[in-house]
């Protein structure tokens, strides 16, 4: 007989953490190599679909707070990365809990059988549940379904078995003796040193995790973003419609035409859906006389192509935030689409659903009254990037992004409006864009000498959805509002670049901005957060001016002039 030394659940937690890291690396490698599901992201997406809207929004808000406070870069990319890290942490935490539970359960057994059945059963159950969740939300796995199920179950079963093996070794780690049956001699079996054993397990886990994840990253390229990184836009500067406008933006103002790689991205999945352009069809159903089913090529061929420069903003964009960008959209008129499908008399709204099951309702009479509403298949003169909704998305002027599905897979004509994805999570029903303005730059490092005076260029953007901008004003240290100059916008649907040349004074100053829309209505000055109707309020920037002394005697840069 040998004495059992039951390992604590804390040891189980440690083993769970180590083995789940290895499992994560293995899942990642299989995902990258063979298009098998990456369970940590699926689990995260599944849970976030279930969370109540306010909690979800609270979480996103705190994340944006942290990103802004610590200056972690462009908000939407940083938020997505934070989300992915959280997904990994949550999955490993779950593995820790499940393994601790396994240790606890095995400790309750009377006998000391060196069986692996409990761990195997635990792994199978864990894997089956994870596979069920994955099947609900996974948008990126491309392997055959049977292969997906087989792999996930196998991987988790192996995980459970490994938990069990380690448990057994730990439980039997006391020095024990055994009688050799043939000779009757007593043999002392070497005791297992638990600490040494755990160090070895830890080392092996670390190596496997690093090797698996490293290989995955090496062969990678799946997971959405693609490998080609181009910073330049395809649309050449010379083709921008306002190229001849004399007003130069104040140095430090954000680019008027957002480089495509810098366009913000917001959606509900850890990874964007992967749609195959050969298989994809736009499915039209419901109250129409002509329920077509169209390939991408048919969309190109059937409808006249239109182009528009468009600024898109997320309703979660804070005053002065970066969840707003401008690019060139190409596609076809939603009105032309209606003419093809022939809505029936009782059709009231279009239910538009994305491949991620994000849905929104668009009123039929809105489309009939606004020829600018479009279905877009290109941004910046190239097919939509996967993360921006390939192959098809909709544009609705004057609405925030939450009303405008990407990755459209189906359009159903229905007889009543209903709440879409974010509306059900208590965001604005109509999501009409608020007029806002932002000070991007107080260019203290680009002060200009103008006759006797020094001039400080100040500038930024103003945006009113489709309402256009008629005037922008600046106030310095709470003084009178002064008119800024406006650059001709790229279109009536984009933001406007403004500039205010301020006569230099020494000291500390606060520059505030406000804008009027096309109907000469002043923007809301009330400071209000993003939820539920989008942020409003006056944006400002503080700056300390250099001394006149340093302006007149600039420090010699270098001799090579
Ligand atoms: N299918 C789908 N469409 C979607 C979303 C989404 O999560 N899924 N997010 C919406 C939101 S909230 C915004 S702000 C815009 C952002 O578009 P972009 O990521 O291409 O900039 O897409 C909208 N369309
Ligand atoms: Mo959004």
3-state SS of 60-125?
HHHHHHHHHHCCCCCHHHHHHHHHHHHHHHHHHHHHHHHHHHHHHHHHCCCCCCCCCHHHHHHHHH
Helix (H) or strand (E) holding 282, with range, is strand 282-286
Q: For the domain that residue 281 is a member of, what is the CATH number?
A: 3.90.420.10
Ligand 1 centre from 397 Cα, in Å?
15
In contact, 424 and 49? CB cutoff 8 Å:
no
Ligand 1 centre from 72 Cα, in Å?
22
Q: Is residue 423 in a domain?
A: no
What is the residue-averaged pLDDT of the chain?
91
The count of residues in the chain is: 561
Where in 346-447 does DSSP place strands (E)?
349-354, 359-363, 374-379, 382-383, 393-395, 408-414, 436-442
Same domain (yes/no): 393, 457? no
Residue 273 CA: nearest ligand 1 atom is 1
Structurally, how many domains does the chain consist of? 3
pLDDT of residue 312: 98
State how far the Cα of 506 lies from the Cα of 228, in Å rounded to an integer. Answer: 47
87, 347, 404 from 307: Cα distances, Å: 38, 28, 17
For 99-130, the pLDDT digits (tens) are 999 999 999 887 767 889 999 999 999 999 99
Ligand 1 centre from 282 Cα, in Å?
18
The residue to mutate among 80, 314, 323, having the most atoms of ligand 1 within 8 angstroms of its beta carbon, is 314
Same domain (yes/no): 320, 171? no
Ligand 1 centre from 291 Cα, in Å?
26
Domain range for 183 is 2-219
Same domain (yes/no): 298, 366? yes
Query: Of 219, 238, 270, which one is at a domain's C-terminal end?
Result: 219
Q: Higher-confidence residue: 129 or 194?
A: 129
Residue 267 CA: nearest ligand 1 atom is 7
Q: Is residue 426 in a domain?
A: no
State how far the Cα of 32 lies from the Cα of 221, in Å rounded to an integer. Answer: 7
State how far the Cα of 221 lies from the Cα of 344, in Å rounded to an integer. Answer: 45
Same domain (yes/no): 32, 92? yes
Ligand 2 centre from 425 Cα, in Å?
13
Among the bound ligands, the one closest to the CA of 531: 2
Same domain (yes/no): 408, 443? no
Q: Is residue 175 in a domain?
A: yes
For 118-173, the pLDDT digits (tens) are 999 999 999 999 999 999 888 888 899 999 999 999 999 999 999 999 999 888 86
Residue 388 CA: nearest ligand 1 atom is 20
State how far the Cα of 283 lies from the Cα of 157, in Å rounded to an integer. Answer: 39
Residue 269 CA: nearest ligand 1 atom is 7
Same domain (yes/no): 183, 288? no
Ligand 1 centre from 519 Cα, in Å?
29
pTM of the model: 0.84
Q: Is residue 172 in a domain?
A: yes
Residue 76 CA: nearest ligand 1 atom is 19
Query: DSSP secondary structure string, 442-479?
Result: E-TTS-EEETTEEEEEEEEEEE-TTS-EEEEEEEETT-
Residue nearest to atom 22 of ligand 1 (CA): 401
Residue nearest to atom 12 of ligand 1 (CA): 402
Residue nearest to atom 5 of ligand 1 (CA): 267
Same domain (yes/no): 158, 57? yes
Same domain (yes/no): 40, 95? yes
Query: Of 348, 382, 414, which one is at a domain's C-terminal end?
Result: 414
Q: Is residue 425 in a domain?
A: no
Ligand 2 centre from 403 Cα, in Å?
8
Query: Of 379, 414, 449, which one is at a domain's C-terminal end?
Result: 414
Q: Report the helix count and the strand count for the chain, using DSSP H and E.
A: 11, 21
Residue nearest to atom 10 of ligand 1 (CA): 402
Euclidean distance between the first and final Cα of the chain, in Å?
Answer: 90
Helix (H) or strand (E) holding 133, with range, is helix 117-137
Same domain (yes/no): 385, 479? no
Residue nearest to atom 4 of ligand 1 (CA): 405
The residue to mutate among 385, 404, 421, 425, having the most atoms of ligand 1 within 8 angstroms of its beta carbon, is 404
The residue to mutate among 262, 267, 376, 378, having the most atoms of ligand 1 within 8 angstroms of its beta carbon, is 267
Q: Is residue 228 in a domain?
A: no
Report the Cα 254 to chain-centroid distance in Å.
Answer: 21
Ligand 2 centre from 490 Cα, in Å?
22
Lowest mean pLDDT among 175-184, 270-279, 431-440, 519-528: 175-184
Q: For the domain that residue 451 is a member of, what is the CATH number?
A: 2.60.40.650
Would you say residue 188 has pLDDT above 70? no
For 475-491, the pLDDT digits (tens) are 999 999 999 999 999 99
Among the bound ligands, the one closest to the CA of 45: 1
Greatest CA separation for the chain: 110
For 64-101, the pLDDT digits (tens) are 888 888 878 778 888 888 888 999 999 999 999 999 99
Ligand 2 centre from 326 Cα, in Å?
15
Same domain (yes/no): 538, 506? yes
Report the Cα 309 to chain-centroid distance in Å.
Answer: 23
In contact, 435 and 467? CB cutoff 8 Å:
yes
The residue to mutate among 310, 389, 433, having the most atoms of ligand 1 within 8 angstroms of its beta carbon, is 389
DSSP 238: G
For 450-478, the pLDDT digits (tens) are 888 999 999 999 999 999 999 999 999 99
Same domain (yes/no): 377, 482? no
State how far the Cα of 166 lies from the Cα of 10, in Å rounded to an integer. Answer: 13
Lowest mean pLDDT among 78-92, 308-322, 359-373: 78-92
Q: Is residue 462 in a domain?
A: yes
Residue 325 CA: nearest ligand 1 atom is 21
Ligand 1 centre from 383 Cα, in Å?
16
Q: Residues lining ligand 1, CB < 6 A?
A: 263-268, 312, 314, 354, 356, 358, 388-389, 401-402, 404-407
For 206-260, the pLDDT digits (tens) are 999 999 999 888 887 554 444 444 556 889 888 999 999 999 999 999 999 999 9
Q: Is residue 227 in a domain?
A: no
- Residue 182: helix, strand or coil by DSSP? coil
Residue nearest to atom 24 of ligand 1 (CA): 405
Same domain (yes/no): 271, 325? yes
The residue to mutate among 406, 425, 530, 531, having the most atoms of ligand 1 within 8 angstroms of its beta carbon, is 406
Residue nearest to atom 6 of ligand 1 (CA): 267
pLDDT of residue 336: 98
For 491-502, the pLDDT digits (tens) are 999 999 999 999
Backbone angles phi, psi at 40, to 5 degrees: -55, -40
Ligand 1 centre from 492 Cα, in Å?
22
Ligand 2 centre from 316 Cα, in Å?
6
Burial (CB < 10 A; 0-12, 13-18, 19+), residue 22, is buried
């Amino acid at each position: 007989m040998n004495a059992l030394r039951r390992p604590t659940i804390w040891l189980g937690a440690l083993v769970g953490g180590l083995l789940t890291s290895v499992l994560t690396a293995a899942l990642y490698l299989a995902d990258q190599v063979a298009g098998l599901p990456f369970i940590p992201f699926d689990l995260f997406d599944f849970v976030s679909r279930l969370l109540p809207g306010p909690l979800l929004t609270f979480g996103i808000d705190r994340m944006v707070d942290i990103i802004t406070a610590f200056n972690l870069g462009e908000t939407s990319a940083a938020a997505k990365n934070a989300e992915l890290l959280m997904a990994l942490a949550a999955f490993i935490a779950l593995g820790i809990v499940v393994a601790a539970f396994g240790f606890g359960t095995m400790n309750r057994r009377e006998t000391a059988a060196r069986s692996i059945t409990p761990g195997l059963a635990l792994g199978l159950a864990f894997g089956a549940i994870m596979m069920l969740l994955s099947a609900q939300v996974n948008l990126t796995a491309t392997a055959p379904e049977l292969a997906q199920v087989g792999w996930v179950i196998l991987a988790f079963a192996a995980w459970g078995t490994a938990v069990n093996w380690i448990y057994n070794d730990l439980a039997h780690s006391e020095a024990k003796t055994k009688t050799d049956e043939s000779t009757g001699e007593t043999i002392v079996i070497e005791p297992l040193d638990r600490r040494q054993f755990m160090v070895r397990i830890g080392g092996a886990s670390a190596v496997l995790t690093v090797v698996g994840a490293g290989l995955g990253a090496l062969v990678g390229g799946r997971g959405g973003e693609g490998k080609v990184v181009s910073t330049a836009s395809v649309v050449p500067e010379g083709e921008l419609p306002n190229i001849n406008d004399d007003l130069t933006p104040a140095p430090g103002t954000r680019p008027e035409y957002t480089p495509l790689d810098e366009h913000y991205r917001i959606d509900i999945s850890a990874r964007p859906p992967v749609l195959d352009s050969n298989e994809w069809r736009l499915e039209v159903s419901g109250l129409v006389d002509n329920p077509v089913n169209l390939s991408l090529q048919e969309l190109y061929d059937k409808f006249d192509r239109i182009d528009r420069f468009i600024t898109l903003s997320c309703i979660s964009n804070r005053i002065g935030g970066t969840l707003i960008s401008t690019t060139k959209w190409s596609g076809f008129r939603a009105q032309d689409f209606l003419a093809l499908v022939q809505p029936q008399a009782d059709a009231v709204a279009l239910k538009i659903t994305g491949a991620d099951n994000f849905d929104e309702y668009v009123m039929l009479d809105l489309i009939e009254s606004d020829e600018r509403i479009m279905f877009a298949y290109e941004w910046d003169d190239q097919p939509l990037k996967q993360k921006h909704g390939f192959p098809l998305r909709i544009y609705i002027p004057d609405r925030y992004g939450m009303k405008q599905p990407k990755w459209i897979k189906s359009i159903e004509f229905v007889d009543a409006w209903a709440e879409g994805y974010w509306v059900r999570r208590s965001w604005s029903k109509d999501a009409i864009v608020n007029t806002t303005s932002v000070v991007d730059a107080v260019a203290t490092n680009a002060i200009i000498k103008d006759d006797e005076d020094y001039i400080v260029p100040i500038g930024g953007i103003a945006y009113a959805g489709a309402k256009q901008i008629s005037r922008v004003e600046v106030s310095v240290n709470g003084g009178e509002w002064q008119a800024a100059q406006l650059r001709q916008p790229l279109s009536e649907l984009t933001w406007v670049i403004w500039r205010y040349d301020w006569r230099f004074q020494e000291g500390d100053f606060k520059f505030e901005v406000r804008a009027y829309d096309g109907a000469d209505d002043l923007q809301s000055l009330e400071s209000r957060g993003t939820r539920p109707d989008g942020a409003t309020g006056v944006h400002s920037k503080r700056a300390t001016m250099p001394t006149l002394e340093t302006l007149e005697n600039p420090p010699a840069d270098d001799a090579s002039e």
